[in-house]
Amino acid sequence: MKLGVYGGTFDPLHLAHLIIAEFAREKYKLDKLLFVPSLIPPHKLSRKITSAGHRLQMLRLGIEGNDYFDICDYEILKNGTSYTVDTLRHLQQKYNLTREMIFLIIGADNLADFHLWKQPERIVEMAQIVVAGRPNYENSDSRFQALTLDIPLLEISASFIRERVKQGGSIKYLTPTAVEAYIKTHKLYL
């Protein structure tokens, strides 16, 4: 089994997330790709994050119809600060996986701070790191061996979507239609 692991706040899930996931699934012939929403990301403590329930529902709506995609709610259920090293340990044990079977997908923006993550050397021992290109970021860091993922570079971010909603702008074509409708129905990001 080859498992992709794609963590983040997904606040909200947007099309760039889905493109990264699908390109990684295809390029690395992944049997399954897990989206892992964090409960309390250690690098975003200063920002208010939408409730886990809303973020999980937006993820469910956004990946519906792709049989290769699933959600792992481990970080939400463990109820504390989310650390990738802990999640990888959990997934290794749950699915009896070796390093060669786990592909951790991160953006080039995350690679810039990867050395600051909890136990980055251990993460590299547990999973193959796949770095997806992001506008204005390098795809490599000489300290860590990583695989690359070339994708169309879209300047879509969750913060951009939240700001558009707050200002009354359209988010059509930035996020899946079902996610857009959910945001409107639940008056998120206003």
Nearest to 8 by CA among 97, 90, 105: 105
Interatomic CA distance for residues 79 and 43, integer angstroms: 16
Q: Which of these, 173, 162, 154, 160, lies nearest to 54 by C-alpha position?
A: 162
> Hey, what domains does the chain have and what are their CATH numbers?
1-22+83-109+120-154 (3.40.50.620)
Predicted model pTM: 0.93
Q: Answer yes or no: are the C-beta atoms of 110 and 120 closer than 8 Å.
A: no
Model confidence pLDDT, tens digit, residues 136-170 = 656 555 677 889 998 887 889 999 999 999 999 99
Could you tell me whether strands 3-8 and 102-107 are parallel, antiparallel, or unpaired per DSSP bridges?
A: parallel
CA-nearest of 160, 4, 159, 150 to 71 is 4
73-127 pLDDT, tens digit each: 999 999 888 899 999 999 999 999 999 999 999 988 888 889 899 999 999 999 9
* CA-wise closest residue to 13 among 42, 50, 44: 50
In angstroms, rounded to a whole number, what is the distance separating the alpha carbons of residues 16 and 20?
Answer: 6
pLDDT of 16-48, one tens digit each?
A: 999 999 999 999 999 999 999 999 888 766 778
